[in-house]
Chain A
Amino acid sequence: MGATGTHLDQGQGQGRGRRAEVVLVYQSLLGIYGDRGNATVLARRLAWRGFDAVLTTVEPGEPLPDTGDVYLLGGGEDAAQVSAVTALRADGGLHRAVDRGAAVLAVCAGYQIVGRSFTVSDGPADTEIAGLGLLDVTTTRGPVRAVGEILSRWSGPGGEGRTGEDQWLTGFENHGGYTVLGPGATPLATIEVGTGNCGDGTEGAVAGSVIGTYPHGPLLARNPALADHVLELALGEPMAPLDRPEIAELRRQRLQAVRR
């Protein structure tokens, strides 16, 4: 059985009907924090701009399509995380996607999976599991679980030079693993409120077109500038602005709530 793709109703604008495919990877395993929302957001923002947006969901056992422009991974429990990394390694499609320049956004457990290694709890002991090695990061169990609203300044690739509201990334983090970056990865952001990678003041990691990060919410629903940055990485062209007052108002409220 192959993955299923859905075409969204198309708007008018810069896309002029060109096809752009968003691939939601293993939602049944990596989707406990509303992570499918990132796919909904990207596909809808493409459609609003007149692209022929295709949202493809792929589950373990189905091959990852080689036609995707963006690949999305979300959060999951330990057993699901191990199951997902095993299936992704066997498939190989994510590495091929990165090699041809597609964008990858990996959140929470997905972030850990695309790194070098992570640990899962196995009774009293932790077991180290090899990751996909798409990001030079290593995750081990942290001293306390990081749970709560998170705010960071988008200081890494894509965020430099941004001023005003767009420089802030807002979300909700919920992770027991702490992630340390190696020399091959650059932090995505600098923590203002919350824990982020491991309490060292950094949040997320970037290498080329691969972005790993902890906050969900889901992330792209609360950070439209980051959503458009991911699309620009994937499609290699600037995204036309979209005027969505309800999103601006949500950002205003969440920034106010977390700074209180």
Chain B
Amino acid sequence: MRLDPAALAKLLQGRRVSMVSGTNGKTTTTHFLAAAVRASLGGDDARLVHNADGANLHHGIASALSGQRGADIAVLETDERVVADLVRLGRPEVLVLLNFSRDQLDRHHEIKGLGRSWRDALARAGEDGPVVVANADEPLIVWAAETAKRVVWVDTASTWTQDASLCPNCGSPLVREQPDHTGAPGGNWHCSACALRQPEADYRVVEGRIVDRDGRAWEPDLQVPGGFNVGNAACALAAADLLGIDAATALAGMRTVTAPAGRFATMQVGGTTARLLLAKNPAGWAEALPLAQSATVVLAIDSAAADGRDVSWLWDVEYEQLAGRTVVATGPRAQDLAVRLAYAGVEFRTEPDLARALAGHPEPVDVVATYTPFQRLRKMGGV
């Protein structure tokens, strides 16, 4: 269902709007930026509206905005498909573009089409468009952001390169240079034929710290785990700077973020202590799976519309790293995972029912889930 664009435009009017989009990390990054803004408001929280629950389509955004008509600052997580509309309707000041990777290919056949919609929207917006904070590690993001009036580039030290083999501009093979000072396995990239290349970064993630363009280094000291969240924090820090928030204040806010919309939350269910990790696609699993360090790991797989009906992506995840641990495969597509684990040489047991898969573990367990079971688990645990 599509909302009347005029209604959404009216809800956005008169606010300072910041948007965050990308395949992975947008909920957490939006929480970082919202927390940075909140820290700068000196207790006047009513000035901020944030779609904190991750409802990031037209209706979810409109619902958040209409619930806080008095708020003059909006920090909005925005689905990839809504970015172009919101750039047009909402005149955002800041747009954070995190990454692009394959996700739900049964619905989005070519990720390049989404990148093109961003690029065109930014070109059309011209001088009225947002300043873009963009991940310099991602070729498709760089190409999409090129048309913006100004871009602040962030080297997030991303490690996922499997969705960027060809130049989004001309289709020629991309070349990845030897790993650079950031220690990123991908190294810098450039096109083998045209001028597209990794831009010089304004902010960089270097050995877990965030370094700004003046060479100042910040310890993130975040409460959420994972190197990828330092990259997300670097993007939020750059966005906060554009909103006029100093780095110390912004980081103080970001350090209060613990479990954005249930991600990384610890909960009690069926006598078990479980930590929730969300992974929706191969890039997301590559980030989440190394965080799951418990002796028993529960993996929950579904193929509802929101998960993608095709589970072939299971074979692009390195489940081999779980060898030697106890794995419980659960969710409606547990059997697809079971076959993947068998071929990976990983011991497992299959328990399609989520509640039973979670029940009765004497030691804390990490749970990695696709979108639909993740939301069910949040309900079960009240997080």
Q: A and B bound?
A: yes
Could you tell me if A176 and B109 are in contact, using CB atoms closer than 8 angstroms?
A: yes
Q: Using an 8 Å CB-CB cutoff, how does the interface string of A161-199 with B read, 1 for contact, 0 for none?
A: 000000000001010100000000000000000000000
Inter-subunit contact A148/B309 (CB<8 Å): yes
Instruction: Tell me if A147 and B339 are in contact (CB < 8 A).
Output: no
Residues of B within 8 A of A234 (CB): none
A174-B339 contact, Cβ under 8 Å, with A33-B312, A34-B312, A34-B315: no
Residues of A within 8 A of B173 (CB): 60-61, 83
Scan residues 124-145 of chain B and give those whose CB is less than 8 A from a CB of chain A: none
Q: Tell me if A83 and B105 are in contact (CB < 8 A).
A: no
**Whole-angstrom CA separation of A202 from B173 in the bound complex:** 35
Number of interface residues of A (CB under 8 A): 39
Report yes or no: A174 in contact with B343, Cβ–Cβ below 8 A: no
C-beta contact mask, A10-39 vs B, less than 8 Å → 1, else 0?
000000000000000000110111111100
A-contacting residues, B190-221, CB 8 Å: none
Report yes or no: B310 in contact with A172, Cβ–Cβ below 8 A. yes
Contact between A250 and B316, CB atoms less than 8 A apart: no
Within the assembled complex, what's the spacing in Å between the Cα atoms of A222 and B315?
A: 12
Tell me whether B335 and A253 are in contact (CB under 8 A).
yes
Mark B104-120 against chain A: 1 for CB-CB distance below 8 A, else 0. Answer: 01100110100000000
Does B165 sit at the interface, judged by CB under 8 A?
yes
With a cutoff of 8 Å between Cβ atoms, the chain A residues found around residue B293 in the complex are: none
Query: Contact at B106–A29, with CB atoms within 8 Å?
Result: no
> CB of A235 within 8 A of chain B?
no
Q: Please state if B105 and A174 are interface contacts (CB–CB under 8 Å).
A: yes
Known pairs A34-B312, A250-B336; A80 contacts B105 (CB<8 A): no
Q: Is A147 a contact of B165 with CB atoms below 8 Å?
A: no
A172 and B339 contacting across the interface, CB-CB below 8 Å:
no
**A32-B102, A36-B315 known; A174+B109 contact, CB < 8 A:** yes
A145 to B350, CA, bound (A): 34
Tell which of B166, B336, B339 has the most Cβ of chain A within 10 Å: B339
Which residue of the partner chain B has the closest CB to A78?
Answer: B110
Q: Mark B299-311, 1 if CB is under 8 A from A, else 0.
A: 0000000000111
B310 with A79: CB separation less than 8 A: no
Q: Say yes or no: is A221 at the interface (Cβ < 8 Å to chain B).
A: yes
Which residues of A lie under 8 Å from residue B106 when comparing CB positions?
A: 147-148, 172, 174
In Å, the complex CA distance between A246 and B346 comes to: 13
Q: How far is the CA of A31 from the CA of B164 in the complex (A)?
A: 12
Chain B residues near A222: list those with CB within 8 A. Answer: 339
Known contacts A33-B310, A174-B310; A249/B335 CB under 8 A: yes
B352 smallest CB distance to A (angstroms)? 10
| A35 CA / B147 CA spacing, docked (Å) | 35
How distant is A149 from chain B, measured CB to nearest CB, in Å?
8
Q: Which residues of B contact A216 (CB under 8 A)?
A: 310, 312
Looking across the interface, which residue of chain A has its beta carbon closest to that of B110?
A77
Nearest A residue to B167, CB-CB? A79
Q: Does B313 contact A (CB under 8 A)?
A: yes
Partner of B335, one of A31, A80, A217, A246: A246
C-alpha spacing A5/B313, complex, angstroms? 23
Q: Chain A's nearest CB lies how many Å from the CB of B50?
A: 34
Chain B residues with CB below 8 A from A80, complex form: 165-166
Q: Is the CB of B171 within 8 A of A79?
A: yes
Closest chain-A Cβ to B265's Cβ sits at a distance in Å of: 29
Q: Which residues 292-351 of B have a CB within 8 angstroms of A?
A: 309-316, 335-336, 338-340, 342-345, 350
| Top 9 closest pairs, chain A to chain B, by CB | A37-B315, A34-B315, A34-B312, A28-B165, A79-B171, A246-B338, A33-B312, A250-B335, A172-B310
22 A-B residue pairings within 8 Å (CB atoms): A33-B312, A33-B313, A34-B312, A37-B314, A37-B316, A44-B343, A60-B173, A61-B173, A77-B110, A79-B166, A83-B173, A147-B106, A148-B309, A174-B106, A221-B340, A222-B339, A244-B342, A246-B350, A249-B335, A250-B336, A250-B338, A253-B335
List A residues at the B interface (Cβ < 8 Å).
Answer: 9, 28-29, 31-37, 40-41, 44, 60-61, 77-80, 82-83, 145, 147-149, 172, 174, 176, 216-218, 221-222, 244, 246-247, 249-250, 253
**Chain B residues engaging chain A, CB cutoff 8 angstroms:** 102, 105-106, 109-110, 112, 162, 165-166, 171-173, 309-316, 335-336, 338-340, 342-345, 350
